[in-house]
Amino acid sequence: MIPAEMFKADPAFEAASLHVADWPLCQVRLQNDARFCWLILLPRVEGAVELSDLSAAQRAQLMEEAVQAAKQVAEMAEAEGAPIDKVNTAALGNVTRQLHVHVVGRRRDDPLWPDPVWGRPGAVFCATEVLERRLSIIGTA
């Protein structure tokens, strides 16, 4: 596993999200899109592209971290007075090969419901107070 201080996220993540924490396996990033409470988990495993590139123990740890991320996504939404209806968790990689897991809070009234959020235009950067509130929740993990 790559030490947190040496791990590099793909530039696509650097452009659209903020590095907010380092958990035992993953770098945790907050997607900078006010429309959705959205975390991205990047396992710090050299060359990992597919889940099969992780050991069984690493896959189990990733699942635990995805569950923790889902709880925090729900907390963010609650703090904003817009509880989620569903948490979408997905490991895609059609555009960015570096293994990553999206954990996204969805509401029936969000602008893309029920369609997927990935690769869709229209991101709205978070206002400073929204970022601060979301970051404070992640910081309590």
Q: Are 79 and 126 in contact (CB under 8 A)?
A: no
Q: Residue 120 — very low, low, confident or very high, per pLDDT cuts 50/70/90? A: confident
Taking only Cα atoms into account, the Rg of the chain, rounded to an integer number of angstroms, comes to 14
Local structure of residue 53 (DSSP, 8 states): G
Domain boundaries, the chain: 4-138
pLDDT tier at 69, thresholds 50, 70, 90: very high
Instruction: Give the DSSP H/E element, type plus range, for residue 135.
Output: helix 128-138
What CATH class is the domain 4-138? Answer: alpha beta
What is the overall mean pLDDT for the chain?
94
Pairing type for strands 101-106 and 38-43 reads antiparallel
In degrees, rounded to 5, the angle at the alpha carbon of residue 23 between the alpha carbons of residues 21 and 27 is 60
What is the model's pTM? 0.95
DSSP code for 83: -
- Higher local confidence (pLDDT), 93 or 66: 66
Q: What is the pLDDT of residue 140?
A: 58
For residues 100 and 94, which has the higher predicted lDDT (pLDDT)?
100
| Beta strand residue intervals within the chain, DSSP E | 17-22, 26-31, 38-43, 86-90, 101-106
Q: So what's the pLDDT on residue 28? A: 97
pLDDT at 5 over 90: yes
Instruction: State the sign of the Cα–Cα–Cα–Cα dihedral 72, 122, 124, 82.
Output: negative
